[in-house]
Structure 1
Amino acid sequence: MSKSDTILSAKSLRYFLQLIETMNYTQAAQILGITQPALTQQVKKLERAIGAPLFGQMGKKLYLTEAGAAAIELLNTINGVISDIQEYTQSDKGNISIGILESVHVDLFYQFLRYFNKKYPEVTFTVDYFDRKELWHRLDSNMIDMAIMYMPDTTNKTGANFRHQYNHRDICPEHIVVLTHKDNVEAGGTYSVTRFGNRKWVAYPENYYLSRLMRLNFSKKIDLVTPFKIASTKEMIKIAENTDLDTYVDQTYYEAHKDEINLTPVYIKNMPEFTTACVYRRGKLDVPRMKKLLTELQIFLDNNLDRNHNFSKLLSEEIK
């Protein structure tokens, strides 16, 4: 028998844990149904294998030595690992970590999380917002289970690497909606960028996805002059409404808040198409709770999305 087998034998560990609980050899032996010498022998066996005493004695009272305290910490770590492994195999328990790209608006997704939590209350969620670089870092490092982001996105991925490492499924198609003060355009109309040549803008910071799309489209014809760059969509619109500046948001945000917005919504010709998508590492579908989450999300979207909004399905047949 190896030294590690001796240290971690089920009997020795059970006796050790019981003695920790009572800190009394007589009581621990009675609970275990053995004699006190037999208990003492097992503890001494552990101490010889470890090479240090686990308990000291002051008068009649036992106390844990530094080695004993370290052993407890090790056992807690082992128990934590066992718990994580057990959660990995369960579909209705455990934590799912989700990262969301800044400026993506996913009200419907939060509705789904509330629905899922009622159905599976022992599955918990950690949700946070990141810029594109940090979001990809966390996906690559397996620090998050899935991401909600705009696609296509090649921040740090070649097409080949993306296909080999990740799955992504579109949640909904998106468009940029320009919110303007211009009085010679019609709500919902589509116009050339040259119609906005003399306009100034309040916009997202330059590293934001929508700002990049706007710059790519406008730079071919006119300069995109942006006196204000703000990360908050709500504040961006508020500033636009209280100045003569125009702004822009994605279609999902506009549809959710159009009754609150006092600017004219229009579209720009030849603006690149993009989608809001769910991105996750290949292999995540091997985790039962992730497969259940994605399957339930597909069902939820099928039942709740506005058919007229032409949303695409989230998942393919691979998770069925």
Structure 2
Amino acid sequence: MKTKQENIFSSKTLSYFLQLAETMSYTQAAQILGITQSALTQQIKKLERTVGAPLFYSVGKKLHLSDAGYTMLDATHQIYETLNQAADEIQQSTSATQGDISIGILASIEDQVFIQFAVQYYLKNPEVKLIFHMLTRKEIWERLENNTIDLAIMYLPDDSIKNWKPYESRKILTEDLLFVHHEPQWSKKKRIRLRDTLEKKWVTYPPKYYLNSLIRESYKNALLDKPVSVAHFATPSQLFDFANITKTATALPISYVVAHRNEVQQKFWTALFEPEISFDLAFVFRRDKDQIPRIENIMNAFEKYLSEKDYISRLTEISQKG
């Protein structure tokens, strides 16, 4: 017979509680978990009976955490943090040249340099299996928190994360965002004022994507309306293709433009924004994750890889090879 503690701390029950606490919607949480809403409700009620207090309450149709719910949420995060730290400590005694390394890459990032590096790394370390996942920003943070990816490659700073204490980052490079357009009168401009770009219709990243948020914040800081977007796409290639066919404007990281220089120059003109819109491309990982030998090894190998030829130079080389 299970004890009260076993009922409280079953992995399934806690994962159900965490998902509901994140979405604040029984319907949405049940869909994400792949269970019925009644099954989720039953598990939450079971947890509430075990702790002896309601964890959620409703005001109209809106769900809220109770004081007991906040206490349970904090305790649950601490439990998972302890387990993740234990797993990392155990792995610190493992081999540097064997095992799996799971890497989450933000889907809107130009990934050719990382794929080229992965090929070279495999040839030197054939017993290390690299597993790449193309993810949204939300998926990256969820998987970092759950310790299901070892490293993330993403854009920073990220104001959506309020507690950076469990994480560390290493900058790869600082990127600029380029205005990509079809206007002959601007063809020789190296920089274009934010105000002037509002004359054109845009195609942009989806509203909750990092670069979309960065663009909107830049225009807001300049006391300007945000650009009018006629469509949203998740990847630079999709934005490029749509903008090319529809003759709309867009904004792309300089890394994408460099990697596809020939194609871009044939179909568009580009210019820096004035003022500049810039951000960092960086590795993000759980604190002390780089103490695991195979993680330390791959990060040192990537640093050496860029010291031999920098990131933009490698993209230029890839572009020239076609």
Calculate the TM-score normalised by the size of structure 1: 0.65
Per-residue CA deviations over 1:206-228 (Å, capped at 9, x if unaligned) read 11111111112234223411111
1:166 — aligned with what? 167
Q: 2:92–2:293: 8 Å Cα contact kept in structure 1?
A: no
Q: Tell me the residue number matched to 1:239.
A: 242
What do residues 12-71 of structure 1 show as CA deviations (whole Å, max 9, x unaligned)?
xxxxxxxxxxxxxxxxxxxxxxxxxxxxxxxxxxxxxxxxxxxxxxxxxxxxxxxxxxxx
Q: Which amino acid aligns with 1:229?
A: H
Counterpart in 2 of 1:109? 114
| Aligned residue identity for 2:253 | D
Q: Does the CA-based 8 Å contact 1:187-1:265 persist in structure 2?
A: no
Shift of the alpha carbon at 1:307? 7.7
**Contact persistence 1:174–1:251 (CA under 8 A):** yes
d(CA) in 2 for partners of 1:112 and 1:181?
34
Counterpart mapping for 1:229-308 below 5 A: 229-261=232-264, 262-305=267-310
User: Structure 1 residues 112, 307: closer, same or farther in 2, change over 3 A?
Assistant: closer
SS at match of 2:252: strand
Unaligned runs of 5+ in 1: 1-84, 310-320
What is the match of residue 126 of structure 2? 121
C-alpha contact 2:151 2:283 (8 A) present in aligned 1: yes
Tell me the residue number matched to 1:184.
Answer: 185
Instruction: Report the secondary structure of 2:117's partner residue.
Output: helix
**2:177·2:277 contact (CA, 8 Å) conserved in 1?**
no
**Alignment correspondent of 1:97:** 102
SS in 2 for 1:99: strand
% identity of equivalent residues: 30
**How far has the Cα of 1:235 moved from its partner?**
2.4
Post-superposition offset of 1:270: 2.0
Q: In structure 2, what is the Cα distance between the partners aligned to 1:227 and 1:289? A: 45
CA distance in structure 1 between the partners assigned to 2:91 and 2:150 by the alignment: 17
How far off its partner does 1:306 sit? Answer: 5.8
Amino acid at match of 2:292: V
Matched residues in 2 for 1:307 and 1:256: separation? Answer: 8
Residues 137-178 of structure 1: CA deviation (Å, up to 9, x unaligned): 1111111101000011122233xxx1x322211101101111
The alignment of Structure 1 onto Structure 2 pairs a total of residues equal to: 222
Q: Post-superposition, which runs of at least 4 consecutive aligned residues in structure 1 deviate over 6 A?
A: none
Structure 1 residues 108, 188: closer, same or farther in 2, change over 3 A? farther
**Contact 2:104–2:133 (Cα < 8 Å) also in 1:** yes
> Aligned letter for 1:156?
I
Which structure: larger Rg?
A: 1
SS at match of 2:186: coil
CA separation of 1:306/1:133 partners in 2, compared to 1, >3 Å: closer, same or farther?
closer
Residue matched to 2:198:
197
In the other structure, the counterpart of 1:55 is none
Q: Does 1:221 align with 2:224?
A: yes
Report SS of the residue matched to 1:206. Answer: coil
Question: Structure 1 308/130 Cα, relative in aligned 2: closer, same or farther at 3 Å?
Answer: closer
Contact 2:92–2:291, Cα closer than 8 Å, also in 1: no
Matched, 1:131 2:139: no
Output the CA distance in 2 between the equivalents of 1:183 and 1:281.
Answer: 48
Aligned to 1:314: none
Q: Distance in 2 between the 1:224 and 1:235 partners?
A: 18
- How far does residue 87 in structure 1 lie from its aligned partner after superposition? 9.4
* 2:123 match: secondary structure: helix
Say whether the 8 Å CA contact 1:88–1:94 is kept in structure 2.
no
Q: Secondary structure at the match of 1:199?
A: coil
Structure 2: segments with no counterpart, 5+ residues: 1-89, 315-322
